[in-house]
Structure 1
Amino acid sequence: MRILVAGASGFIGTAVTARLTDAGHEVVRLVRRQATADDEVAWSPASGIIDFTVMDRVDAVLNLSGASLARLPWTRRWEQEILESRVAATRTLAEAMQKAKAPPRIFLSGSAVGIYGDRPGEHLTDHSSAGDGFLAHVVRRWEEAATKLAPRETRTVLLRTGIIIGRGGAMQRVRALTALGVSGRLGTGGQHWPWISIDDEVGAIVHLLDSRLSGPVNLVGPTPATADRIMSALAERMHRPYGLPVPEKLLEFGLGRAADDLLLSSQKVRPQRLIDDGYRFRHVTVESAIDAMLSLEHAPAR
């Protein structure tokens, strides 16, 4: 396929474009500067500017564009950027597809498990209702821009991604604290963090290109894990101490809403539709994903 990718230079984008190229697909990158190569197209998502004719020349669109959630703390200005960057990029892509004479067949649009909000004690599937909170509001708006504006003939998939275990994103900060020997239980530590390895994040995206699924699809690992399990497993493998508990009130004082939405919320999410569609996970447990992440970090440079 010929695939247009927004957010190709990001953590997920870099990994998925490499996998797509290795698989024989042709990747066209959207860039926020003047295009300097044949595989680049300039755009300005904040202004809604894009050459919509590119949509007549691609088979699929992969939207991974959006301001980082890992930049902490969230100021009011950054919270607005988190929302607007996602909605504007998605709207720009969807409206460009509408203008095309022959719209792309597939639209894989970024999303997040944040839509479920804090749901301790619940088992959440792809069909679970939206919850409350800042991220739940952001994801609702983000998904609406995709589902309401994309052409009807385009199969639209919402990639509800969890915490990615890999060399980037939120795990960068967790690894940094662990390396310094100052990681420990966050709040009770019993909150479920919906995780997925970077290998399976990329593998699921590639799988969904050839699938018939549409609508929300949870991109999380098949075995739930608590925050305490994830962080203690990382500390054990890095041979660092794990024993400085951080009270919820202290987290909320230092990080505000980011503490509640990212660190303290509990979401026991299952990737039911992905499993039913035949996807086979490379990393079934979070320990396996952590081992893979650390082995890559210590691999010799090529």
Structure 2
Amino acid sequence: MKVLISGASGLVGSELIHELKRQGHQPVRLVRRKGLTSDPEITWDINAGKLDAQQLHDIDAVIHLAGENIAGGRWSDERKQKIVESRVKGTRLIAETLAKLDHPPKVFICASAVGFYGNRGDEVLNDVSGKGSGFLADTCKQWEDACQPARDKGIRVVNSRFGIILSPKGGALKAMYWPFKLGMAGDLGNGKQYMSWIALEDVVGALAHMLTHDDLKGPVNVVSPNPVTNHQFTDAMRKAVICPMLPMHYWTPPAPAFAVKAVLGEMADQLLLASQRVQPVALLGSGYTFRQPELKAALDSLL
């Protein structure tokens, strides 16, 4: 398949390129500036609303990953606006462009996030669980709704709701490594909030799987089948990176919720202290086999 990918230079996109080539697909990068790689490229301009439909006439599938980094800084009103617009405007531009084609791609896979569910405590959430409240939930809803022109065209649309993606190459795990290694990271708040995580190799494996499984459409949770509490995650990280002879291997002081909120504001409430106990029901039902379903083994492999 000829697969158009936005966000191809990011953590997920760069690994996805390798995986698709390994499987015999032909990836094409959707880029803002040409000539950055030797791979085939198509240019677009989100702010100007420019994406030439004629360049997409022979594309079989689209995987849209581009968007402003949610955890890139404290959430000011300006930053929140950038987070929303980078997702909604880009998604709508692609969806509307695909809808203009006489022979559109068969599938449009668009990134989303488990932030859709909001803070739900220990409630077990599946792919059809309702929307939660808060900025992230509202953002994800607008993000997914922006795919509607592609749905109306009859394209199979998949909204891949990612959990916390674990990779030593970037994202949360890279940021957490040294604080844990130095014994400076403990539970966040009471540590009871659930973290729905997934190893990067399962993210790209799941995305490649979606390309060829027509039963997958609508929201699809892209998370490990074994979510853990923040306390369990902290304990697993500590044991994975700290020498077992050192005291911090067994315990480090928690970071009180009020302190986390004081430093990060609203982002702390919705990214670090919110609880989402999410299950990948649709993905498992379609026959996907997880490569790293258990946190301890995943961390041992990654670190």
Give the deviation of 1:287 after TM superposition: 1.2
The question of 1:228 aligning with 2:231 is answered yes
- 1:182 aligns with 184
Give the deviation of 1:114 after TM superposition: 0.3
Amino acid at match of 1:18: H
Of 289, 292, 298, the match for 1:283:
292
- CA distance in structure 2 between the partners assigned to 1:177 and 1:44 by the alignment: 38
Say which SS state the counterpart of residue 203 (structure 1) adopts.
helix
Give the deviation of 1:151 after TM superposition: 4.4
Q: Is the 1:111–1:143 contact (alpha carbons within 8 Å) kept by the matching residues of 2?
A: yes
Q: Is the 2:51–2:93 contact (alpha carbons within 8 Å) kept by the matching residues of 1?
A: yes
CA RMSD of aligned residues (A): 1.4
The question of 1:27 aligning with 2:27 is answered yes
- CA distance in structure 2 between the partners assigned to 1:235 and 1:38 by the alignment: 40
Provide TM-score, normalisation by structure 1: 0.94
Q: How does 1:1-302 map to 2 (within 5 A)?
A: 1-35=1-35, 37=38, 39-167=40-168, 168-212=170-214, 213-239=216-242, 241=248, 242-294=251-303
Give the deviation of 1:290 after TM superposition: 1.1
The runs of 4+ residues in structure 1 deviating greater than 4 Å are: 35-38, 148-151
The aligned length equals 294
Q: Is the 2:122–2:194 contact (alpha carbons within 8 Å) kept by the matching residues of 1?
A: no
Give the deviation of 1:150 after TM superposition: 4.3
Q: Is the 1:30–1:42 contact (alpha carbons within 8 Å) kept by the matching residues of 2?
A: yes
Amino acid at match of 1:191: Q
Q: More deviation in 283-292 or 110-119? A: 283-292
- CA distance in structure 2 between the partners assigned to 1:160 and 1:251 by the alignment: 25
Q: Are residues 2 and 237 of structure 1, via their aligned partners in 2, closer, same or farther at CA, if it must alter by over 3 Å? A: same
Runs (5+) with no aligned partner, structure 2: none
Q: Are residues 44 and 227 of structure 1, via their aligned partners in 2, closer, same or farther at CA, if it must alter by over 3 Å? A: same
Q: Is the 2:29–2:40 contact (alpha carbons within 8 Å) kept by the matching residues of 1?
A: yes
Q: Is the 1:103–1:151 contact (alpha carbons within 8 Å) kept by the matching residues of 2?
A: no
- CA distance in structure 2 between the partners assigned to 1:221 and 1:193 by the alignment: 10
- CA distance in structure 2 between the partners assigned to 1:73 and 1:38 by the alignment: 35
Deviations 1:274-295 (A, max 9, x none): 111111111111112211211x
- CA distance in structure 2 between the partners assigned to 1:179 and 1:77 by the alignment: 34
Give the deviation of 1:232 after TM superposition: 1.9
Give the deviation of 1:38 after TM superposition: 6.2
Provide TM-score, normalisation by structure 2: 0.93
Give the deviation of 1:235 after TM superposition: 1.6
Amino acid at match of 1:80: Q
Identity score, percent: 39
Say which SS state the counterpart of residue 27 (structure 2) adopts.
strand
Q: Is the 1:95–1:150 contact (alpha carbons within 8 Å) kept by the matching residues of 2?
A: no
Give the deviation of 1:176 after TM superposition: 3.0
- CA distance in structure 1 between the partners assigned to 2:76 and 2:114 by the alignment: 22
Q: Are residues 181 and 89 of structure 1, via their aligned partners in 2, closer, same or farther at CA, if it must alter by over 3 Å? A: same
Give the deviation of 1:24 after TM superposition: 0.9
Q: Is the 1:97–1:150 contact (alpha carbons within 8 Å) kept by the matching residues of 2?
A: no
Give the deviation of 1:34 after TM superposition: 3.3
Give the deviation of 1:148 after TM superposition: 4.4
Q: Are residues 38 and 248 of structure 1, via their aligned partners in 2, closer, same or farther at CA, if it must alter by over 3 Å? A: closer
- CA distance in structure 1 between the partners assigned to 2:42 and 2:253 by the alignment: 48
Deviations 1:200-241 (A, max 9, x none): 111111111011111000000011211111122112111162
Say which SS state the counterpart of residue 203 (structure 2) adopts.
helix
Say which SS state the counterpart of residue 50 (structure 1) adopts.
coil
